Structure 1
Amino acid sequence: MHALYFSSLFLLSFLNIFAGKGDAEKAETLFVFGDSYADTGNHDPYNETLNQPWRKPYGLTWPGYPAGRFSSGKIQSDFWADILGLPSPISYEQLKNHGCGPNFKKIRQGVSFAVGGSAIFQAYGFPTVSQQVKQFKKLIAASPGFDSDKLSRSIVLISAAGNDYGALSNRRNGSTEGLEAAVKPVVSGIIKVVKDLYECGLRNFVVSDIAALGCAPEIGKKSCDSKYNRIIKLHSRLLTESLQHLRLHLKEISIIIPDMVSATNYIFSHHAQYGLVDLFVPCCAVKGGIRHCGEVDEKGKALFEVCDNVDEKFFWDFAHPTHRAWYALMSLYAYGDNTRGFSFIQGASNAIEWLHSLGFLAFNISLRTAD
């Protein structure tokens, strides 16, 4: 059944890609903002307190070594680039370390400003999404060739998966009490980011909804925790309403919202079909615990263990999906579930059709780990 499902998915995706191609062209550039669900390497690899995604065993599945991503392989930024037929977006940190000149071609195809731990407000001390927008403006001003036409034919990915709520909950010893009061300011901050980028000339936005906060790994856990449900529902409703307001009032703007909660719940409900086991047990963790993937002692001995079935795991570490899980999520965004008629994108039937509606080519994504 597992093989049959993905054979059918490939056929449907193949048909989607080549239907109505016409005079479509590739999108120009992918710009990425947000948190660890979109970070392609913006933690300093030389800072031992912050370089977790640059340590082994991160990158185990792809590219085979640590590449600055909080996963065993590709994350959504990489898969969105695959859909667009573009290379994975270069990290802003790499540009700072090596300069823009040698990387000019890469800049023109995609840049990720997202950094793990980021949020709308100062959740964990990392650059906020608004500060990332300032970095974008600085980079664009210093890089020739980004005229209004190029920017209007680019794609923006924004991931604010929930660090604001997680940080507040941590400060309250895991309680969700009072978190609802934070939802409106957080959503307003996301809307401000979209408007700021729109004023820069960008027009096409993928604004990811909140993550399934109650589904994070936990020892002994058998199902997703419902304590975040009110926060998730309120956040999703306000985000949808606010982005619809922008659609109605900002000329030529196009916005889709990947519904990560629905996609995660769908995968969990059909986990056997996806070949996934032990949904709430991460592949990489300290023995008997959840955190500390990549940690070593003073002698360099690993304090963590890595599972031998990473392709059967949804979570890589304490909060982040594996390469396999990101592929499953992105497949639902890209194609939906045509056999059941389900869509996991608000604002379009699926990502492929959205790109076609904009006049862009869209390409198949693959579980294979090669570029």
Structure 2
Amino acid sequence: MENHAQSLFSLLLLLLFTISREVGAQAPFRVYDDCSLSKLFVFGDSYVDTGNFQNSPSFKPPYGTTFPGKPAGRFSDGYVLTDYIASFLKIQSPIPYNMRDTVGKSNLTYGMNFARGGSGIFKTLVDGPNMTTQIDFFQNLIQQNVYTKQDLQSSLALVNAAGNDYATFLLRNGSTKDLPFFMKSLIDQLSLDLKRIQSFGVGKIAVGLLEPMGCLPQATVFTSYKNCMDAINLVSYSHSQMLLQAVKNLNQEIGKQVFITLDLYNAFLSKIAEMQKARAAKPTLMNPLEPCCVGVSKDDFCGSVDEKGAKKYNVCEKPEESFFWDNFHPSQNGWHQVYNAIQTSLQQLSQGKF
């Protein structure tokens, strides 16, 4: 899977150089006592998946070495965005959907995570439930009365996806010619998905803007980890601007403020810039554009082993100083930095100012 993902991103790099001509140490979790939301339902990809992609590297060493101390299905050395959002609500991270039948009913108290690594808004090249199917799972649980109307009214839905959709589109089409049209269709479908989640009676819905894909290590390796790739980031920026307008339209259409955006795009950029500035003053700090866990050769990846089980990857000395864990995903420290950057948006959930 990882080798396939690497080829996807390599093609993404080659194709998106022309896109500018075609489309515009950690502190404790911070929580808010006055937030009335008590459940979390999660939809999307590996940035919010906490254990649904069961045949993936996320269930193999060295993933999970910081938390919970062993692989547990998170694409990180520890916490991911879902865990930090749950901490804001002062609840436990919701149980992954694939584990719902192996735990007691009390484990369903805090909601459920339907997100799966490799998935997208549309169907991607990685086999698994896309956004529509994830919402179908949610609807089935509601119809089975697993969650009541009151449960839904006091819940937050976290939605984050799109990066895998762009990689899949470009691999299948081999051209950026129709990318603006695809971007619009992606936003249109996501808008329908968000409306559908809201139609079940979910109290608040937070949707992540697209991370700057040109800053992911799989892209920055082409600059020797010195700079983000602006041509690729333009895609993320354009997508995020369209999504901001779509969310504004949804709130106006519904007639009340249900939807909020989490600005992952600027959160990534600002925190990476801060870490680069700190490193300029102290060169021994880790480069935020470089992954902590990497394969020993171009054909290996974080978690690779040979036929005898010997590891074929290296892990940085201080994961707590890294921003990225592997070629695509933030480390626990990276997610903590992003979480700090989106505090203002999260406060709006409890203060009713969005």
C-alpha change, 1:130 and 1:236, in structure 2 (3 Å) is same
Letter in 2 for 1:94: M
Runs of at least 5 residues in structure 2 that lack an aligned partner in the other structure: 1-24, 280-284
Q: Could you tell me which residue of structure 1 aligns to residue 207 of structure 2?
A: 207
1:369 is matched with which residue? none
Identify the residue that residue 130 of structure 2 maps to in structure 1.
128
Deviation at 1:228, TM superposition (A): 2.0
- Closer/same/farther in 2, CA of residues 255 and 89 from structure 1, 3 Å limit: same
How many residues in Structure 1 have an aligned counterpart in Structure 2? Answer: 320
Distance 1:30 1:225, change over 3 A: same
The 2-side partners of 1:310 and 1:221 are apart by 17
What's 2:142 paired with?
Answer: 140
Structure 1 ranges of 4+ moved more than 6 A: none
2:261 equivalent to 1:257 = yes
TM-score (norm 2): 0.83
The partner residue of 1:39 within 27, 44, 49 is 49
CA distance in 1 between partners of 2:299 and 2:346 (Å): 33
Query: Which sits farther off after the overlay, 296-305 or 128-137?
Result: 296-305
- For residues 333 and 66 of structure 2, the distance between their equivalents in structure 1, rounded to whole angstroms, comes to 9
Distance 1:286 1:148 in 2: 48
SS in 2 for 1:196: helix
Q: TM-score, normalised by structure 1?
A: 0.80
Q: How far is 1:57 from its partner?
A: 0.5
Q: For residues 330 and 279 of structure 1, what CA distance do their matches in structure 2 show?
A: 16
What whole-Å deviation, never above 9, does each CA across 1:255-300 have from its counterpart, x for those lacking one? 1111111111101211156775222221111115486111211111
Q: What letter corresponds to residue 179 of structure 1 in structure 2?
A: L
In the alignment, the residues of structure 2 paired with residue 132 and residue 197 of structure 1 have an alpha-carbon distance, to the nearest angstrom, of: 10
Please state how far the C-alpha of 1:30 moved relative to its aligned partner: 0.2
Pairwise CA distance, 1:232? 2.1
Overall identity of the aligned pairs, in %: 30
Match of 1:205, SS? strand
CA–CA separation in structure 2 for the residues paired with 1:263 and 1:30: 22
Q: Residue 355 of structure 1 corresponds to which residue in structure 2?
A: 350
Correspondence for 1:323 among 324, 327, 332: 332
Note the residue ranges of structure 1 that are not aligned, 5 or more in a row. Answer: 45-49, 335-348, 359-371
* Aligned counterpart, 2:16: none
How far the C-alpha of 1:251 sits from its partner, in A, is 4.1
Deviations 1:231-250, CA, capped at 9 Å, x for gaps:
22321222111111111121
**Distance verdict in 2 for CA 1:274–1:258, change over 3 Å:** farther
Q: CA deviation at 1:105?
A: 1.8
Match of 2:79 in 1: 74
| 1:189-241 per-position Cα deviation (integer Å, ceiling 9, x unaligned) | 11111111111111301100111110111432311111224322321222111
Task: Give the 3 Å change call, closer, same or farther, for CA 93–189 of structure 1 in structure 2.
Answer: same
Query: How does 1:11-30 map onto structure 2 within 5 Å?
Result: 17=32, 24=34, 26-30=36-40
User: In the superposition, relative to structure 1, how do residues 27 and 37 fare at CA in structure 2: closer, same or farther (>3 Å)?
Assistant: same
Q: Distance in 1 between matches of 2:315 and 2:177?
A: 35
